[in-house]
């Protein structure tokens, strides 16, 4: 049994693939299925340790990017993509997997193109409420289309589309089993605001938090993940603003939150402020009420559309970046912190939205497609 995974070079594509691979390995081990080979094909391995841990072999493919604006790079990337398609044809001819799982993104295009040519069954997953170009194209010939948002269903054939949610790694779903307040040096009697800027940090959110630091520590404790590149600058600014403040110790700055620390922070958090990227589903799975600030003018406007889709599900408030200011953000934080009934309702809505069994459902479907493929041969 050979299963090939492919997706773009971002964490939003890679980590859901790992989540599915985790479930797949457990399922096959439980059923004592031997001779299973898992492959990951993309432009970069992204995280070699996770690939190794999940018994996945990396195969490199070349892919260019088609930008929605004029760029001379588009011309050169056409040749990169053509070379990638040729290479993918060659690799899939010798590998010949039983099924290909596509997560979207330009690096998946050569692989899916070759899979279609060789009539290898394809399953895709779309994380956004509006699909990217590769998945919108692949949905026309994929056997099954898994989606994270109900709004995405309109872009794919109804008969083969299933609302699964977004696959989340087990590490993020499993309880830490520890006293989060004690581990993080927090007071359990004071509300906790968790601020997530993503691995690269979010400059505009960082700037707002710096301005609000003196007001925030009067009432709350803050865990602020700034992004490693921004940590020194934010730390210096916040230290200057809180110098001599008796509550300065309530403001906790991290450049990066590893999986274990992130879980502890989520367990301690009363509410979370975040961008509206792939972290939406992890926030939902934690059941933490959120305030999302989508990136303005993001490619395809995906963050904004995702944020409002999650808001319609009842799990978050949304502040558009054009309206973002310290007073508006503080008002939203205070309003949510002071309304336990609203937070409780948002928590339940978030957990329902998360669909924590997404990875398992997709893994089961992959195995089912493999078995049908083998019977038909």
Distance (Å, rounded) from C-alpha 77 to C-alpha 106? 11
pLDDT for the residue 97: 96
Find out if CATH 3.40.50.2000 is the number for domain 2-168+356-376: yes
pLDDT for the residue 310: 96
367 closest CA partner among 27, 6, 126? 27
**61-79 average pLDDT score:** 68
Q: Which residues contact 369 (CB under 8 A, 6 or more apart)?
A: 98, 99, 121, 123, 143, 144
* Strands of the sheet with 251-254, listed across from one edge: 251-254, 221-225, 192-196, 271-274, 290-292, 316-318
Q: Which residues contact 249 (CB under 8 A, 6 or more apart)?
A: none
CATH topology of domain 172-354: Rossmann fold (3.40.50)
Mean pLDDT of the chain: 92
DSSP character string of 133-146? HHHHHHTTT-SEEE
pLDDT for the residue 108: 95
Q: In which band, very low, low, confident or very high, does the pLDDT at 372 lie, cut at 50, 70 and 90? A: confident
Percent of the chain with pLDDT over 70: 93
pLDDT for the residue 302: 86
- From 21-35, 120-134, 268-282, the region with the lowest mean pLDDT: 21-35
Provide the residue count of the chain: 377
pLDDT for the residue 66: 60
pLDDT tens digits for range 91-149? 999 999 999 999 999 999 999 999 999 999 999 999 999 999 999 999 999 999 999 99
pLDDT tens digits for range 186-222? 999 999 999 997 655 588 999 999 999 999 999 999 9
Q: In which band, very low, low, confident or very high, does the pLDDT at 9 lie, cut at 50, 70 and 90? A: confident
Q: Are strands 192-196 and 2-6 parallel, antiparallel or unpaired?
A: unpaired
Is residue 69 pLDDT above 60, yes or no?
no
Is residue 67 pLDDT above 60, yes or no?
no
CA-to-CA dists, residue 54 to 21, 45, 58, 59, 357, angstroms: 6, 13, 11, 15, 18
Residue keyed to tokens 């690269």: 200
Q: In which band, very low, low, confident or very high, does the pLDDT at 311 lie, cut at 50, 70 and 90? A: very high
pLDDT for the residue 298: 61
81 phi and psi, to 5 degrees?
-70, -40
| Residue 9 CB coordination number (10 Å) | 17
Angle at 358 between CA 20 and CA 62, to 5 degrees: 40
* Range picked from 5-9, 182-186, 303-307 for highest mean pLDDT: 182-186
Q: In which band, very low, low, confident or very high, does the pLDDT at 76 lie, cut at 50, 70 and 90? A: low
Residue keyed to tokens 């916040």: 238
Structure tokens at 249: 């110790």
- From 16-20, 31-35, 318-322, the region with the lowest mean pLDDT: 31-35
Q: In which band, very low, low, confident or very high, does the pLDDT at 71 lie, cut at 50, 70 and 90? A: low
Cβ–Cβ under 8 Å, residues 119 and 159 = no
The CATH 3.40.50.2000 portion of the chain extends over 2-168+356-376, 172-354
Distance (Å, rounded) from C-alpha 151 to C-alpha 210? 36
pLDDT for the residue 375: 67
């Amino acid at each position: 049994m050979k299963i090939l995974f492919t997706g773009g070079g971002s964490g939003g594509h890679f980590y859901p693939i790992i989540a599915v691979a985790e479930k797949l390995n457990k399922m096959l081990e439980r059923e004592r299925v031997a001779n299973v080979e898992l492959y990951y094909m993309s432009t970069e391995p992204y995280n070699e340790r996770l690939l190794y841990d999940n018994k996945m072999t990396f195969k490199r493919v070349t892919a260019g990017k088609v930008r929605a604006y004029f760029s001379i790079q588009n011309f050169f990337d056409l040749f990169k993509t053509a070379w990638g398609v040729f290479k993918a044809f060659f690799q899939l001819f010798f590998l010949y997997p039983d099924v290909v799982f596509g997560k979207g993104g330009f690096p998946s295009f050569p692989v899916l193109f070759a899979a279609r040519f060789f009539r290898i069954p394809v399953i895709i997953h779309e994380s956004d409420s509006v699909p990217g170009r590769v998945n919108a194209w692949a949905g026309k010939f994929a056997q099954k289309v898994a989606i994270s948002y109900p709004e995405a269903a309109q872009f794919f054939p109804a008969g083969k589309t299933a609302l699964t949610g977004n696959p989340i790694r087990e590490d993020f779903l499993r309880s830490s089993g520890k006293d989060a307040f004690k581990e993080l040096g927090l007071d359990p009697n004071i509300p906790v605001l968790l601020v997530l800027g993503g691995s690269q940090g979010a400059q505009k959110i960082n700037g707002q938090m710096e301005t609000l630091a003196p007001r925030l520590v009067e009432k709350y404790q803050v865990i602020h993940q700034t992004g490693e590149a921004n940590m020194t600058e934010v730390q210096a600014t916040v230290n200057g603003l809180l110098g001599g403040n008796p509550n300065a110790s309530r403001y906790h700055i991290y450049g990066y939150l590893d999986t274990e620390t992130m879980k502890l922070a989520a367990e301690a958090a009363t509410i979370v402020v975040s961008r509206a990227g792939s972290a939406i589903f992890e926030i939902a799975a934690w059941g933490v009420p959120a305030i999302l600030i989508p990136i303005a003018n993001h490619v395809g406007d995906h963050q904004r559309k995702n944020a409002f889709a999650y808001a319609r599900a009842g799990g978050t408030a949304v502040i558009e970046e054009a309206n973002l200011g310290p007073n508006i953000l503080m008002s939203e934080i205070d309003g949510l912190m002071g309304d336990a009934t609203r937070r409780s309702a948002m928590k339940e809505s978030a957990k329902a939205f998360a669909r924590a069994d997404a990875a398992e459902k997709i893994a089961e479907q992959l195995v089912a497609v493999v078995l049908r493929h083998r019977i038909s041969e």
